[in-house]
Structure 1
């Protein structure tokens, strides 16, 4: 009885490694189109049992890809909801669903995020990340790009020139929209801005756009020094409590980053209303709007962001597999949603 051809036999016939044959069969990593064709032809010549499956997957574009998503705080309901949207977007891909590997990073130190990126890329074809802008993070992105692993940014862009693209809302539009609305809703008095960190380029851009619009269209408005809360609700609460004690006439507040539960708590305890805007319609923010504590919430469309990110990541992986260049640093912005107490 003749011996059944093995994966190693296919590798010898095609002149490639067994690992390359495994990648063609299982879609574990990008493989150039020419190499894929050579492997399939070799498998067919020697009668390898999975040759038909290889050919079928190639014709259907059915290589099952693995996409990694590096998100932040697991305890934050927004990131949990975003993770669900990303998982759903991967599972609903047609004709072949892709595999989503989602990790969370509670420590926001750049070195830890860089390590998270490298670890996630080990078993993935492409990676998407929410991160602060820092040389450690940018260096990791450059390394992965050199390995043929495209890296996309989510929600907040980075300055890494090697990043494959950004998927999220337009931060400049967000900041200018809030400035326009607060200037019309708030009584005379100063405005304040709260950020998680200036290293989130999206937050920094939103703050700059907010201030720029007011300088141009409402120069009489005073905008106080920006408060940074490191995405920590306790720090946000304490900072706003202190600010309200110093500025009892505060008229408007724009929270462009995290720490919103602490902000809401401080606003609830303040005797007079401050026209306030924040991001992401989580349960605590919805309750605060119903109670008249918050006035505006800008919402990132999680499902559209997830669907777009998955589609663009797969396109970039396919380009790498076929040896075609992918234009780096593209921007795939999505329109944000604006919620008030009257359209909940």
Structure 2
């Protein structure tokens, strides 16, 4: 490698980056190293592949998610990396980060930092004026930003991609009303009042029950901060205070707490529990019928379509109008497993 570096007139570190196809090396440096390798007979069969690879444009993707402790978001991060890696038409560089909390300032800080090296961004951020201003600033500086799962800055961001959350809520209502025929009460958990997607799911649930299941009364939404413990304690309290509780819909995170509380307090299927996203825990609860329905985001499809949209925005310029890109949810019942 020292001989090759001397022949090419570059440092050994540059030779290493070229031969191992690492980022941050210019096309001119690549050509110098490859040309020198051919002249001195450097023993590698990768020269043509490296040269062809060098013709593909580099696009740097930045993703900011939250809740790294939750299996769903870890799966999401892996699916994003895989979707970038499988693109043969570009040299994709993928940087996935997690906000340290759900505070708007933490999301804004991560987005601002990652934008220093990324060409195009996507985030699962909450709705807040601080985030809207941050995303607007990034867009004004030609950094397209896409919202994932939650429509974080509608009308400002490049596009939203995820489920139609009103429809998701109506599906949850349909399942509860189908399973439970007697009059009674239904509870809904939302992560917080800054989650636009959760509020839309609550709206969809309420509208379905009003239209088709007037015998079921929807209680006021409970904020669970998407945490297991808060959901667990609140579910036990609901079951204690409402002997006629017929259904629970966890519109965001924290479903593990509701599952645990029902396991301890009620026979399987006595209360219809609807949750989002298929994980090891929700799959197990579904198989044992403590969960009636899992409404899941098709992660692989979302990530492939997102990466395609991000490439178009990075290469073809940003759209002047913010859009919405809806995917069909995946529905899992006990008999699906």
Q: TM-score, normalised by structure 2?
A: 0.83
Match of 1:95 among 89, 92, 109: 89
Q: Is the 8 A contact 1:69 1:128 kept in 2?
A: yes
Matched, 1:290 2:290: no
Once residues 127 and 199 of structure 1 are traced to their aligned partners in structure 2, the CA distance between those partners, rounded to angstroms, is: 21
Question: CA shift at 1:57, angstroms?
Answer: 7.7
Once residues 312 and 168 of structure 1 are traced to their aligned partners in structure 2, the CA distance between those partners, rounded to angstroms, is: 13
Match of 1:250 among 218, 226, 245: 245
Match of 2:324 among 327, 331, 334: 331
Aligned length: 300
Q: Is the 8 A contact 1:27 1:65 kept in 2?
A: no
Once residues 284 and 261 of structure 2 are traced to their aligned partners in structure 1, the CA distance between those partners, rounded to angstroms, is: 15
Once residues 71 and 329 of structure 1 are traced to their aligned partners in structure 2, the CA distance between those partners, rounded to angstroms, is: 21
Q: Is the 8 A contact 1:195 1:255 kept in 2?
A: yes
Q: How does 1:177-216 map to 2 (within 5 A)?
A: 177-188=171-182, 189-216=184-211
Q: Is the 8 A contact 2:100 2:106 kept in 1?
A: no
Structure 1, unpaired ranges of 5+: 1-5, 7-25, 29-39
Once residues 260 and 221 of structure 1 are traced to their aligned partners in structure 2, the CA distance between those partners, rounded to angstroms, is: 21
Match of 1:69 among 49, 63, 69: 63
* Aligned partner of residue 157 in structure 1, secondary structure: coil
Structure 1 residues 169 and 160, CA, compared in 2 at 3 Å: closer, same or farther? Answer: closer
Structure 2, unpaired ranges of 5+: 1-8, 10-21, 36-47
CA RMSD after TM alignment: 2.6
- Which residue in 2 is equivalent to 1:271? 266
Q: How does 1:1-344 map to 2 (within 5 A)?
A: 62-188=56-182, 189-272=184-267, 273-320=270-317, 325-344=318-337
Once residues 217 and 135 of structure 2 are traced to their aligned partners in structure 1, the CA distance between those partners, rounded to angstroms, is: 39
Question: CA shift at 1:105, angstroms?
Answer: 1.6
Structure 1 residues 288 and 243, CA, compared in 2 at 3 Å: closer, same or farther? Answer: same
Once residues 104 and 251 of structure 1 are traced to their aligned partners in structure 2, the CA distance between those partners, rounded to angstroms, is: 36
Q: TM-score, normalised by structure 1?
A: 0.81
- Which residue in 1 is equivalent to 2:13? none
* Aligned partner of residue 294 in structure 1, secondary structure: coil
Once residues 334 and 27 of structure 1 are traced to their aligned partners in structure 2, the CA distance between those partners, rounded to angstroms, is: 33
Q: Is the 8 A contact 2:53 2:91 kept in 1?
A: no
